Structure 1
Amino acid sequence: MDLQKLLFSLSETSCITGAGTATNVVFDTVKRFAPDTFRDPLGNIIAPVKKAKEGRPHILLEAHMDEIGFVVQTIDDDGFVHIGKVGGPDIRVLLGSEVTIFGKEPVYGVFCCRPPHLSSKDDYKKVPELDELAIDIGYTHDKAVEKVSPGDYITLRQAPAELINGLITGKALDNRAGVATVLRCLELCAEKVDCGLTAAFTLSEELGCRGAVTASYTAAPTHAIVVDVSFGYTPDAPKEKCGKIGKGPMIGISPVLSGEVTSVLFEAAKANNIPYQTEVMGGETGTNADSVSISRGGVATGLVSVPLRYMHTAVETIAVSDVENTARLMAAAAEQIGGGKNV
């Protein structure tokens, strides 16, 4: 599997609560490992790789597919599009950004940006509210309403790119990096894990982890490993709350996670010489692991995260090696649990 090629194909597609083409890429790719893959009523993709056996572990590997974005609210008399947010986009960097509106056909636009010559010193000191922003699609009002309607979804528009030192940048790597990790993990372990194994690629994480609730209920696992992204260190961020890009997966430690599964993740990393970091949380993780862990009668859940810089922007940045090492870690842990590790 060419991880960088997969990551690029996932990043350049779109998916807000199921709207967009990213789900098709995931569905077509995972069917290689699970021919009986299906979509549930919420649009989650559930891939039963190995059938669960009574009295044996059943492992769920989970990553969310959806990305942050916007929704059309109104179109004003001059043809400018006014919006609401879907999830938590970083409003600080929107001015002048390119977007795609999924109307009757894709419509490209840019966030309006006042010229610096017309801006006051005070303007530079504040972040605009979302309702102060608009998108320019180049149409008059009459032409705009032929193409775009209230309720149409909008994503940031940015082609993925390769940086130096094994880094890549693009939109929606939160959490297409996790999606690629699960797919790579299946390539590594689908034939080796000696127990039930299901992969779930979920929607609506950015809206409160809704997709993980139904997907984990449907899958009914005994154990789960959830993969998401977490904060990658930059000089303007608190070092103690961040991981370092290129230094391996961040293993989550939290009271809502299973101590036993977390221990297996640490053991698997050490036994297989996989570089890792830790991420300690005093309560909920803010990921789908929170929902998966309390599905049905409870699921022993672990969390691993890929360090990512510039979260919820169009230039999210990761190291491809971190995706590979996270997949290796998940595969090794799944093999341990499936091999009878007492978890």
Structure 2
Amino acid sequence: MDTKELLEKLSNGSSVSGFEHKVNDLIISAFNNHADHITTDKLGNIIMLKKGVNNHDPIKIMISAHMDEIGLMVKYIEDNGFIRFTNIGGIDPRTILGQEVVVHGKEDLFGIIGSKPPHLQEPSEIDRAIKMEDMIIDIGFPKEKVLELVNIGDPITIKREFKTLQGDRVMGKSLDDKAGVAAMYESILELSKLKHEADVYFVATVQEEVGIRGAFTSTYKINPDIGIAIDVGFGSTPELQKGSTIDMGKGPGITIGGNIQPGLRNKIIEIAKKYNIPYQIEVTPGPTGTDGRAMQITREGIPTLCLSIPLRYMHTSVEIIDMEDLKNTAKLLAFFIASITRDNLEGLLCY
């Protein structure tokens, strides 16, 4: 399976926070021929170990990308069969009205999100954004049939098919952060061509969108020497301030800020320059809001890096990335990992 094919299957799949197991088999199957050992922990994180050549005193490097996605959840079923719902993770209600959805009940059920037509709205309602609690999902069945197939708490995803745009750009739902999982896959392929001392733990984490939970528990379990989070950053569009975004097609964003260990940051920039891998600087003065935040403050503290794949229209169902950015992220990771040895690690971690 190539990386783009994996990303397409992940994007079209369903892995709402708390229900990530629906893509477990896909991820494990993809990594199985390239990892030395794969386990799933009690919270649901998938930990995939690729061993290095230093069997005596191996360094442990943890790479994480969250496999969960934002979504919806069944909250109540009306007498007329309409489904009331709430959000799981950060969803902007303005982006979901009129969308097609899949209700993941006893079987996958197609539906649409509707609300009061503008013709019937009061004058005071016309200029206001419709709230999520005023929307319903219509799957076309009466209440009796809905109750046979749907339970309170069932997850719901927006129905959207992964598509290729012009050039190297692709569109789909939940590329935040399935693009990161795909980058880990591309990176393990790159690492198979290189010699590396470190044991590398690739972790597809759960529940990032609802509190960075999987990264806390998996980092505690692994206790790595270095932690690297792969996530997405705000891809530049005309209405966004330049200093708050990173450009599509110009490589990953390397985060600078309090969450990031400066010696490691300098090293990964050095590697990018050495191998002519394009990169950008992403300024994040406080916590990154990624798995990197959890890594940094687990146990006695883990020296941490964060790489961001530029992504447009974050937390909508039409997120866009450039596949070259994903591949350059993976390449940078692989060459950085290969550069870390027991001899240079201590110096890199000094402040």
Deviation at 1:27, TM superposition (A): 1.2
Match of residue 46 from structure 2? 45
Match of residue 337 from structure 2? 334
Cα-to-partner distance string for 1:74-133 (whole Å, 9 max, x where unaligned)? 100111111111100121110111111111111111111443444567545332222111
Consecutive unaligned residues of structure 2, counting only runs of 5 or more, are: none
- Structure 1: distance between partners of 2:123 and 2:272: 51
Match of residue 105 from structure 2? 103
Matched AA of 1:236: E
Q: Is the 1:23–1:65 contact (alpha carbons within 8 Å) kept by the matching residues of 2? A: no
TM-score (norm. length: structure 1) = 0.95
Q: Is the 1:13–1:20 contact (alpha carbons within 8 Å) kept by the matching residues of 2? A: no
Deviation at 1:219, TM superposition (A): 1.4
1:235 and 2:238 correspond: yes
Of 259, 262, 265 in structure 1, the residue corresponding to residue 262 of structure 2 is 259
Deviation at 1:31, TM superposition (A): 1.5
- Structure 2: distance between partners of 1:140 and 1:206: 33
Cα-to-partner distance string for 1:249-305 (whole Å, 9 max, x where unaligned)? 000011121111111111111111011111111110010100011222221110000
Cα-to-partner distance string for 1:304-325 (whole Å, 9 max, x where unaligned)? 0001011111100000100000
Match of residue 285 from structure 2? 282
Cα 1:20–1:78 change in 2 (3 A) is: farther
Equivalences for residues 67-78 of structure 1 within 5 A: 67-78=69-80
Cα-to-partner distance string for 1:6-51 (whole Å, 9 max, x where unaligned)? 2111111110123453222111111222242011111110112117
Matched AA of 1:320: M
Match of residue 206 from structure 1? 209
Equivalences for residues 116-265 of structure 1 within 5 A: 116-119=118-121, 123=125, 125-190=127-192, 191-265=194-268
CA RMSD of aligned residues (A): 1.7
Match of residue 300 from structure 1? 303
Q: Secondary structure, in 3 states, of the residue corresponding to 1:37?
A: strand
Match of residue 268 from structure 1? 271
TM-score (norm. length: structure 2) = 0.93
Match of residue 13 from structure 1? 13
Matched AA of 2:107: E
Q: Is the 1:193–1:339 contact (alpha carbons within 8 Å) kept by the matching residues of 2? A: no
- Structure 1: distance between partners of 2:10 and 2:34: 18
Match of residue 96 from structure 2? 94
1:314 and 2:295 correspond: no
Match of residue 61 from structure 1? 63
Q: Is the 2:198–2:337 contact (alpha carbons within 8 Å) kept by the matching residues of 1? A: no
Deviation at 1:212, TM superposition (A): 0.4
Q: Is the 2:105–2:151 contact (alpha carbons within 8 Å) kept by the matching residues of 1? A: yes
- Structure 1: distance between partners of 2:125 and 2:234: 28
- Structure 1: distance between partners of 2:226 and 2:56: 14
Matched AA of 2:93: I
- Structure 2: distance between partners of 1:54 and 1:239: 47
How many residues are aligned here?
343
Matched AA of 1:153: P
- Structure 2: distance between partners of 1:339 and 1:167: 39
Cα-to-partner distance string for 1:147-197 (whole Å, 9 max, x where unaligned)? 101010111110000100211000010000000001111111145211221
Q: Secondary structure, in 3 states, of the residue corresponding to 2:189?
A: helix
Match of residue 4 from structure 1? 4
- Structure 1: distance between partners of 2:196 and 2:249: 27
Cα 1:171–1:158 change in 2 (3 A) is: same
Q: Secondary structure, in 3 states, of the residue corresponding to 1:244?
A: coil
Q: After the TM superposition, which parts of structure 1 deviate over 6 Å for at least 4 consecutive aligned residues?
A: none
Equivalences for residues 24-35 of structure 1 within 5 A: 24-35=25-36
Deviation at 1:332, TM superposition (A): 1.2
Cα 1:318–1:121 change in 2 (3 A) is: farther
Bigger Cα displacement from structure 2, 122-131 vs 59-68: 122-131
Deviation at 1:338, TM superposition (A): 3.5
